[in-house]
Amino acid sequence: MMSPLYLLVAIVGVAVVWLFRQTLNVKPWVEQHPVEGGPSGASFSVSPGTVGLGVFLAVATALFALTICAYFIRMMAADWRTLVFPSVLWVNTGVLILSDVAMRSARAAARRAEMDRVKVRLMAAGLCSFAFLAGQVWAWLQLNASGYFAADAGGALTASAANSFFYLFTALHGVHVLGGLWFWGRTTARAWRGADMARVRPSVELCTVYWRYLLLVWLVLLALLAPAVSELCRGRFLG
């Protein structure tokens, strides 16, 4: 019973270290917030936006970690059945990777003050993200068509516990993608309106960090949902 708790602590620890490193790597505000009255060259190393994103990702990581912990605990029940794994998830993963690559390319273009490239890369990242969400909905429809997301006369879902966690994981991750797309929309609109690069670049930096986070979380969830990994973990816990 302690193994899921150890996993929870490990996930939160890795997330905290990753967030700390990302905070150190995001530096477009170093020259924008000098310390008045301080020594020459003194400045704040992070902006309020960076701090806010770090806090949000820490909370989101705790939420995902708790959900994963519940997944492992439920997995140890005797009535657990292997998840029916929609093959479209592999395509969705590739699309999300492309979205992350496009966002990182937008950040590189912003650092070179290439606004036209920033616009194109942001649009590509957003379109790939929408395609990812569409693919996740398609995976739901596949399971629904196979009878794994039906309701009986009493309104209870007939899906197994494993399939229910699939819906929970994908829905929770999808909500976070939608939240990122809201901020992406504001950043993209600002770029297309011809805003100064000094205003666009910080937002692109934050979007890039968030998209990398979304990709890492999805890769973890995908690995846990894979039948081979699920059975391996269950055998390890019950063995």
Q: Return all residues near 28 (Cβ < 8 A) that are at least 6 apart.
A: 111, 201, 202, 205
Q: Residue 119 has what DSSP assignment?
A: H
Q: Which domains can be identified in the chain, with CATH numbers?
A: 3-238 (1.20.120.80)
pLDDT tens sequence across 14-42: 555 555 555 445 544 444 444 444 444 44
Question: Phi then psi for 10, rounded to 5 degrees?
Answer: -65, -45
pLDDT tens by residue, 5-14: 455 555 555 5
CA atoms lying within 13 Å on the CB side of residue 236: 11
Q: What is the pTM of this model?
A: 0.79
Which stretches within 193-226 are classed as H helix?
Answer: 197-225
- Mark residue 147 as left, alpha or beta (left: phi above 0; alpha: psi -120 to 50; beta: remaining): left
* 43 phi/psi in degrees, rounded to 5: -160, 160
Beta carbons of 76 and 152 less than 8 angstroms apart = no
pLDDT cut 90: percent of the chain above it: 46
pLDDT tens readout for residues 167-203 = 999 999 999 999 999 999 999 999 998 888 888 999 9
| pLDDT, tens digit (0-9, with 9 covering 90-100), for 77-117 | 777 777 778 889 999 999 999 999 999 999 999 999 999 99
3-state secondary structure of 155: coil
Task: With a cut of 80, say whether residue 134 has pLDDT above it.
Answer: yes
